[in-house]
Copies of this chain bind each other. A is one copy, B any other.
Amino acid sequence: MLWTAKKRSEKAGLPPGTLIHIGEKKVEEVTITVIDYDETHCLEKEVKAVEDLFPLRDSPSVTWVNVEGIHEVELLAKIGECFKLHPLTVEDILNTHQRPKMEDFGEYLFIVLKMLHQPDREGETVAEQVSLIVGSNFVLSFQEGMTGDVFNPIRERIRNAKGRITKNASDYLAHALIDAIVDNYFVVLEKLSEDIELLEEQLVEEPGPVTLNSIQNLKREMIYLRKAVWPLREVIGGLQRAESPLIQPSTGIYLRDVYDHTIQVIDTIETYRDILSGMLDIYLSSISNRLNAVMKVLTIITTIFMPLSFAAGVYGMNFRYMPGLESRWGFPLLLIFMVTTGISMLIYFRKMKWL
């Protein structure tokens, strides 16, 4: 997720439409699963050859082709041909460093999104690119192919012909997929909110360089999250306003719902950013406060013992004629003087609120 420009450079100089996979290969083999459904039937199978998709493509029922793994360039080129995709579209599907966007190619809509995953080991959010092609009777979805996706509940709903989904056309399916991805953002945000709460406790109890690091890491997570979510607003807004016949008016109300969720996600990210900035301020001033505390100790010790040591030094001089040296009370009197001086200094410091 870190460097979007990474490896993008390999493509510099090549003509647009050149098919090159940019990004990590996240899965060994490409899996193509197809669900073909309408109100009365639901056919689900794994497809090996692209040719198997032809009959489904031409049937009037909604066909959802999900491609997991996008590193096999020839395969994707074939799928592109099969569904008459523009070369630029296939190029963009192969390039995992896309910004979320929506493009209307007339025959189909091309939508790029970022799906967020949360691996347990390091807690760093990982983004996976999801490309959607919405045609009149088909939806293609391309994933980079990490273990687990958020589309399973939708598959379940199609299988059980539950809810609105089987009664509606491909645009509703597309909406359902986008909705699933946006809903998942809340899961990720919730995890981050827990991290922030933990960090706040740490900031109060035991702030240290580790705390600063965690704040900065979270801040950076927010930067990337924002980058992934911010353009989504435009994407869904664009879908809502799209004059494409592919989007039916009845879907509009559901898109507005997703739009609301997106705004809410953006709002929450901004709030977290503000909170993290505040935590940075607290951390920095806690460093200064501790420095102050240390300096006070140093000053108190120095201020008490320097005069006393000086007094002792004076009576350590080897002058022959010094008052009191020979007296029996010289030593105890000096000691009493020293203790008095020390105590009065302590009282002074307490009055100054240094103790």
Residues of chain A touching chain B, judged by Cβ–Cβ distance below 8 Å, are 2-9, 11-18, 86, 88, 97-99, 101, 103, 105, 150, 152-154, 157, 162-165, 176, 179-180, 183-184, 186-187, 189-190, 192-193, 197, 209, 212-213, 216, 219-220, 223-224, 227, 253-254, 256-258, 260, 263-264, 267-268, 271, 274-275, 278, 280-292, 294-299, 301-303, 305-310, 312-328, 330-331, 334-335, 354
Residue numbers in B under 8 Å from A307 (CB-CB): 301, 305
Residue numbers in B under 8 Å from A324 (CB-CB): 319
Q: How distant is the Cα of A316 from the Cα of B253 in the complex, in angstroms? A: 92
B302:A298 contact, CB within 8 angstroms: yes
Residue numbers in B under 8 Å from A299 (CB-CB): 294-295, 297-298, 301
Which of chain B's residues has its CB closest to A269's CB?
B5
B189:A274 contact, CB within 8 angstroms: no
Distance from A257 Cβ to chain B, minimum over Cβ atoms (Å): 5
Residue numbers in B under 8 Å from A209 (CB-CB): 285-286, 289
Residue numbers in B under 8 Å from A305 (CB-CB): 306-307, 309-310
Copies in the complex: 5
14 contacts between A and B (CB under 8 A): A5-B193, A99-B263, A209-B286, A219-B278, A220-B274, A283-B285, A294-B295, A294-B299, A297-B299, A298-B299, A306-B306, A309-B313, A313-B316, A319-B327
If A186-B9, A282-B216, A288-B288 touch, whether A325 touches B318 (CB-CB below 8 Å) is: yes
A186:B8 contact, CB within 8 angstroms: yes
B331:A271 contact, CB within 8 angstroms: no
Partner of A296, one of B5, B294, B313, B319: B294
Residue numbers in B under 8 Å from A18 (CB-CB): 163
Q: How distant is the Cα of A14 from the Cα of B14 in the complex, in angstroms? A: 43
Which of chain B's residues has its CB closest to A330's CB?
B319
Distance from A19 Cβ to chain B, minimum over Cβ atoms (Å): 12
Residue numbers in B under 8 Å from A105 (CB-CB): 253
Distance from A216 Cβ to chain B, minimum over Cβ atoms (Å): 5
Distance from A174 Cβ to chain B, minimum over Cβ atoms (Å): 13
Residue numbers in B under 8 Å from A317 (CB-CB): 312, 315-316, 318, 331, 334
B303:A164 contact, CB within 8 angstroms: no
A318:B316 contact, CB within 8 angstroms: yes
Distance from A246 Cβ to chain B, minimum over Cβ atoms (Å): 18
